[in-house]
């Protein structure tokens, strides 16, 4: 019995298994139906292109609602409390609004098929290769982490051997992707969103009820730093409140989140699939509305777990460094949910991890087939050839993800550091994009040199910090934890901008004629708007909708100040 | 939204709202049954079951009342563009 208490098991019974199995029937059903409709009926294609904006908007945030987000953010909630909301209200939401209002016109208007392809058109080969390669590698890594967490759930749930769980989980995801393909992925992401809400909303409400409402939770946590979003010194690990706020606003908000949400192809791909310019711009803006309420479904359960479940509470009080806060949500589910609800909760978690991995792999496929294979390895073949490349890449990516997941299962820390490292690639991207979009003088050489030196600057900060890169960090500057990542990102941004400006002075820019649709000052204003936009209702106009979302998110920031 | 002045027909069987409604409906009924026959966590299962059933009704009604309309006159060029890219 002593052993049993140490291992986390969810006591699922046959009702729970039926609920989980039903979810898989629906996922595969959507895949099969999508596939059949594509070949036999034009209706599917057309209803695909007539996708209402709420569908693309939900798919936009669902693609990101994977294991890293749900387990990671509830872990942050358990460990740091309310300051975790900055990832959403300072980070994601403003970045999504910026994408919809400012950047989407360039992506959609230039008719590129992927984010790296925009790099190719604006800056040429160097920047394109850097972006495409680092993106493809990062997707394989994150797919592996999603797979590892998926297998952990299967392991926890069924008590299966972890390796067996890994392979089975990978096979399920593979069949899901090959059956469903990219078009069905969007439908599945929408279904997944509602299942996750159906799983996490009752969990949060039951948990809040058990601790005596939000005021009861406040009493039990009883720590001002955990209950107020600012200055968030516990989250950043920066002792000075002033610099902590700067780190959050500039590092986490402006650089990391803007870099992630506006240049990450996994998300941008969803919006690019829209039927018109205004629909494409609306997708991230509509997504921002549910996104700003997700903290209540992931951070709150984490905070509740830290007071209600004995394991998490004990680890938090003793400051046990070896405790894995990623399990907080699972502990809470184990303690609070009866059979029945338990099945829905497990289905929701499995849904999220599978969809997360599927999104990584399908974005990887597109970039590998179009941006790497077609541009650099085998050019000018028929479309069917690249489709086959994409299929083979799917299988290969799944196999590689199993490998990454195996490494993750043995060396959890290394994976964290690798993820931090790939985060460093993301940070300067935003600087290069935004400078390239608004400054026509920026040259192709500046494009790739800026990216590389920005990344290097982030790595240097990581190495100088106390623990951002584990054993590779030397501790020359007193920064640790998330604060080190924020500062690294900020350094990457500043260095990227400076180097790009300097290099641009010494090298030759592209001729103006090649930059229409890619640079603001060289693109006629009507390229950025639909002709019919004037007839749309206010809630169909991107900028007005973004203003409403902006006001709401500011209100949330103030309420939890 | 803008298609009202064009000739349209309902899209085929595939409407994601029907799928969401169906899965939530089945989940709701199962939770209600579990809540009725098992005393373990009865309130949680019953209340969630009722909410899921209501959400299911909402999605199915929504899909019925505002079906996806597809213009009749699409030409081949429109159809060759895959939805995903």
Based on C-alpha coordinates, what's the Rg of chain A? 23
**B2 lies in a domain?**
no
Q: Which residue of A has its CA nearest to B73?
A: A46
Q: What are phi and psi of A93, to 5 degrees?
A: -65, -50
Q: Which candidate from B13, B31, B55 shows the least CB-CB separation from A341?
A: B31
Structural domains in chain A (count): 1
Identify the CATH number of the domain in which residue A60 sits: 1.20.1730.10
Strand pairing partners for B8? B71
Across chain A, what does the average pLDDT equal? Answer: 81
Give the span between the Cα atoms of A67 and A401, in whole angstroms. 14
State the helix-helix crossing angle for A383-410 and A162-211, rounded to 10 degrees: 70
Contact: A49, B31; criterion CB under 8 Å: no
Q: Residue B25 and residue A22: Cα distance in Å, rounded? A: 12
Report if residue A147 sits inside a domain. Answer: yes
| CB distance B8 to B73 below 8 Å | no
Q: What is the pLDDT of residue A94?
A: 92
Domain extent, residue B14, equals 9-69
Give the residue among A231, A238, A187, A282 at the shortest CA–CA distance from A483: A238
Other Cβ atoms closer than 10 A to A44: 23
Residues 296-355 of A with CB under 8 A from B: 337-341, 344
Q: What angle do CA A113, A117, A122 make, to 5 degrees?
A: 130
**Tens-digit pLDDT profile for residues A56-91:** 888 888 888 877 788 888 988 888 888 889 889 988
Over residues A110-125, mean pLDDT: 85
Burial of B7 (0-12, 13-18, 19+ CB in 10 A): exposed
- The answer to whether residue B74 is domain-embedded is no
**Burial call A486-496: b when 16+ CB within 10 Å, e when fewer:** bbbbbbbbbbb
Q: What residues form DSSP beta bridges with B71?
A: B8
User: Does the pLDDT at position A1 exceed 80?
Assistant: no
A108 by DSSP, 3-state: which?
helix
Nearest CB among A43, A52, A339 relative to B40 is that of A339
pLDDT of residue A2: 34
Q: Is residue A543 part of a domain?
A: no
Cα separation, A109 vs A118, whole angstroms: 11
Contact B12 A44 (CB under 8 A): yes
Cβ B1–A202 below 8 Å, yes or no? no
Is A50's CB within 8 Å of B68's CB? yes
Torsion angles phi and psi, residue B10, rounded to 5: -70, 145
Put residue A222 in one of left, alpha, beta given phi > 0 → left and psi -120 to 50 → alpha: left
Residue B44 lies in a domain: yes
Inter-residue contact A13 to A339 (CB < 8 Å): yes
Residue with tokens 């020359």: A476
- The answer as to whether A248 is a domain residue is no
Is B41 close to A339, i.e. CB distance below 8 A? yes
Closest to A102 (Cα-Cα) out of A542, A556, A449: A542
ipTM: 0.82
A65-104 residues touching B, CB cutoff 8 A = none
User: Residue A50: which pLDDT band, with cuts at 50, 70 and 90?
Assistant: low
B75 in a structural domain = no
Cα dihedral across residues A22, A357, A160, A324: positive or negative: negative
Contacts of B78 in chain A (CB under 8 A): 49
pLDDT bucket at B27, cuts 50 / 70 / 90: very high
CB contacts < 8 Å between A and B, how many?
120
Residue B19 neighbours by CB distance under 10 Å: 22
Averaged pLDDT, A19-35: 83
Residues of B with CB under 8 A from a CB of A: 1-2, 11-16, 19-20, 22-24, 26-27, 30-31, 34-35, 38, 40-42, 44-45, 47-48, 52, 55, 68-71, 74, 78-79, 81-85
- Closest by CA to A467, choosing from A480, A458, A456, is A480
In our burial notation (b when 16+ CB lie closer than 10 A, e otherwise), range A392-405 reads ebbeebbebbbebb
**Sequence-distant (≥ 6) Cβ neighbours of residue A107 within 8 angstroms:** A115, A118, A268, A271, A272, A280
Q: What is the pLDDT of residue A413?
A: 64
CA nearest A204 in B: which residue? B44
- Contacts (Cβ under 8 Å, ≥6 apart) of A542: A100, A101, A104, A278, A281, A282, A285
**Nearest chain A residue to B84, by CA:** A273
Question: What does the pLDDT read at residue A393?
Answer: 85
**DSSP one-letter code for A477:** S
For residues B3-10, give the mean pLDDT.
Answer: 49
Q: Which residues of chain A does B41 touch, with a Cβ-Cβ cutoff of 8 Å? A: 337-341
Range of the domain at A351: 13-236+263-410
> Could you say which DSSP state residue A515 is in?
G
Per-residue pLDDT reduced to its tens digit, A212-255: 888 888 888 777 778 887 877 777 777 788 888 888 888 788 88
Q: What proportion of chain A, given as a percentage, has pLDDT over 70?
A: 90
Nearest CB among A182, A340, A366 relative to B45 is that of A340
Interface of A with B in 513-532 (CB under 8 A): 532
Inter-chain CB proximity B34 and A44 less than 8 Å: no
Distant-in-sequence, close-in-space partners of A549: CB < 8 Å, separation ≥ 6: A93, A97, A285, A288, A289, A292
* Residue B85, in any domain of the structure: no
CB contact under 8 A, B48 and A338: no
The model's confidence at residue A533, banded by pLDDT at 50, 70 and 90, is low
Task: Look at chain B and report how many structural domains it folds into.
Answer: 1
pLDDT mean over A192-218: 89
Q: Does A162 touch chain B (CB under 8 A)?
A: no
* Residue B28, pLDDT score: 94
pLDDT(A298) > 80: yes
More confident residue, A543 or A540: A543
Check residue B84 and give its pLDDT.
39
For residue B56, which residues of chain A lie inside 8 Å, CB to CB?
A: none
Reply yes or no on whether the pLDDT at A371 is more than 70: yes
Name the minimum distance, in Å, from the CA of B58 to any CA of chain A.
13
Tokens matching residue A260: 């992630």
- Tell me which chain B residues have a C-beta less than 8 angstroms from the C-beta of A198: 24, 27, 48, 52, 55
Q: Is the pLDDT of residue A364 over 90?
A: no
Q: How many residues does chain B have?
A: 85
What's the whole-number mean pLDDT along residues A299-317? 86
Q: What does the pLDDT read at residue B81? A: 40
Provide the pLDDT confidence category of residue B79 given band limits of 50, 70 and 90.
very low
Question: Which residue shows structure tokens 């952990």?
Answer: A152
Using a CB–CB cutoff of 8 Å, tell me whether A37 touches chain B: yes
Residues of chain A positioned with their CB less than 8 A from the CB of B69: 50
Cα gap A383→B33, rounded to integer Å:
52
Least confident of A377-391, A477-491, B3-17: B3-17
Name the band, by pLDDT with cuts 50, 70 and 90, for residue B80: very low
pLDDT bracket for residue A180 (50, 70, 90): low
Torsion of CA A50, A51, A57, A61, to 10 degrees: -140
Which residues in chain B are contacts of A46 at CB distance < 8 A?
11, 70-71, 74, 79
Q: What is the distance between the alpha carbons of residues A329 and A222, in angstroms, rounded to a whole number?
A: 21
Ramachandran assignment for A150, one of left (phi > 0), alpha (psi -120 to 50 degrees), beta (any other)? alpha
> Does A532 sit within 8 Å of B48, measured CB to CB?
no
Residue to mutate among B5, B9, B16, with most A CBs inside 10 A, is B16
A490 domain residue, yes or no: no
Instruction: Give, as one character, the DSSP assignment of residue B84.
Output: T
């Amino acid at each position: 019995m002593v052993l049993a208490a140490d291992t986390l098991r969810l006591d699922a019974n046959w009702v729970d298994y039926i609920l989980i199995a039903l979810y898989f029937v629906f996922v595969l059903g959507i895949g099969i139906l999508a596939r059949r409709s594509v070949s036999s009926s034009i209706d599917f294609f057309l209803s695909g292109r007539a996708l209402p904006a709420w569908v693309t908007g939900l798919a936009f945030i669902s693609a990101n609602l994977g294991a890293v987000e749900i387990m990671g953010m509830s872990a942050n909630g358990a460990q740091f409390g309310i300051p975790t909301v900055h990832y959403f209200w300072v980070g994601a939401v403003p970045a999504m609004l910026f994408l919809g209002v400012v950047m989407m016109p360039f992506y959609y208007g230039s008719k590129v098929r992927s984010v790296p392809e925009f790099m190719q058109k604006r800056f040429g080969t160097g920047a394109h290769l850097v972006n495409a390669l680092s993106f493809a590698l990062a997707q394989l890594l994150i797919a592996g982490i999603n797979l590892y967490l998926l297998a952990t759930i299967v392991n926890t749930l069924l008590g299966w051997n972890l390796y067996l769980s890994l392979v089975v989980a990978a096979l399920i995801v593979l069949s899901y992707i090959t059956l469903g393909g990219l078009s069905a992925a969007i439908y599945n992401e929408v279904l997944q969103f509602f299942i996750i809400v159906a799983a996490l909303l009752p969990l949060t409400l039951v948990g809040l009820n058990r601790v005596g409402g939000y005021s009861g939770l406040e009493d039990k946590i009883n720590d001002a730093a955990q209950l107020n979003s600012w200055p968030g010194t516990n989250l950043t690990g920066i002792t000075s409140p002033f610099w902590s706020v700067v780190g959050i606003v500039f590092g986490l908000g402006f650089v990391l989140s803007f870099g992630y949400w506006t240049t990450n192809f996994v998300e941008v791909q969803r919006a690019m699939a829209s039927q018109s310019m205004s629909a494409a711009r609306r997708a991230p803006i509509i997504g921002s509305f549910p996104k700003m309420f997700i903290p209540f479904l992931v951070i709150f359960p984490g905070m509740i777990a830290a007071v209600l479940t004995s394991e998490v509470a004990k680890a938090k009080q003793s400051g046990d460094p070896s405790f894995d806060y990623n399990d907080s949500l699972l502990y809470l589910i184990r303690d609070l949910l009866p059979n029945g609800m338990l099945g829905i909760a497990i289905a929701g978690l499995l849904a999220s991890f599978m969809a997360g991995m599927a999104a990584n792999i399908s974005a990887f496929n597109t970039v590998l087939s179009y941006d790497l294979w077609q541009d650099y390895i085998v050019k000018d073949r028929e479309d069917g050839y690249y489709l086959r490349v994409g299929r083979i890449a799917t299988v290969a990516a799944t196999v590689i993800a199993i490998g990454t997941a195996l490494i993750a299962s043995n060396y959890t820390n290394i994976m964290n550091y690798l993820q931090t490292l790939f985060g460093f690639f993301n940070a300067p991207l935003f600087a290069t994009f935004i400078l390239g979009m608004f400054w026509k003088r920026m040259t192709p050489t500046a494009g790739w040199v800026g990216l590389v030196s920005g990344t290097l600057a982030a790595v240097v900060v990581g190495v100088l910090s106390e623990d951002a890169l584990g054993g590779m960090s030397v501790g020359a500057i007193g920064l640790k934890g998330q604060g080190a990542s924020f500062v690294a990102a900020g350094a990457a941004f500043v260095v990227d901008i400076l180097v790009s400006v300097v290099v641009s002075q010494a090298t030759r820019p592209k001729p103006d004629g090649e930059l229409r649709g890619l640079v603001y000052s060289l693109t006629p204003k009507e390229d950025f708007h639909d002709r019919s936009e004037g007839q749309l209702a206010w809630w169909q106009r991107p900028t007005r909708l973004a203003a409403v979302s902006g006001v709401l998110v500011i209100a949330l920031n103030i309420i939890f100040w | 939204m803008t298609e009202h002045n064009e000739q349209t027909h309902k899209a085929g069987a595939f409407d994601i709202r029907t799928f969401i409604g169906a899965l939530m409906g089945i989940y709701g009924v199962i939770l209600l049954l579990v809540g009725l026959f098992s005393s373990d966590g009865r309130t949680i299962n019953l209340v969630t079951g009722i909410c899921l059933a209501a959400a299911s009704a909402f999605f199915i009604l929504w899909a019925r009342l505002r079906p996806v309309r597809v213009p009749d006159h699409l030409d081949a060029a429109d159809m060759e563009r895959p939805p995903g890219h």
